[in-house]
Amino acid sequence: MKLVVNTGSMFSGKSSELIRLGERHIIRGDKVVYIKPDIDQRYGASVICTHKGNSVEAHSIAIDDDIRDYIDEDVNVILIDEVQFFDGRIVNDIWTLLEQDKIVYVS
């Protein structure tokens, strides 16, 4: 069980760090999934993109959906961008993932 919260102002590199952490887990052989709220359409519907242009595919999820519905059982690392836009139920979703011994990163 591991929860890491990346905080900072706009343009501080939160999405860049999220992508970097996901890439490190992929190199280690972990199965990862990226998630973002569907209201974040700045760079496209299903992509997390940094201001420098680095990007990864992501599940674009309604802010009131249960994110667990988008995570396969064999995924062990979940990376959530723009977590502040999800409604309060995200806290319970993340807690359940942690109880399942998942690693969760949020920015």
Q: 99 an active-site residue?
A: no
Q: Could you say which of 17, 57, 73, 82 is catalytic?
A: 82
Q: Which two tokens stand for residue 47?
A: 């992509």
Dihedral sign computed on CA atoms, order 42, 48, 49, 55: negative
Compute the half-sphere exposure of residue 69: CA atoms within 13 Å on the CB side of its CA: 8
Residue 81 neighbours by CB distance under 10 Å? 22
Report how far residue 106's alpha carbon sits from residue 9's, in angstroms, rounded to the nearest whole number: 14
Write out the catalytic residue numbers.
82
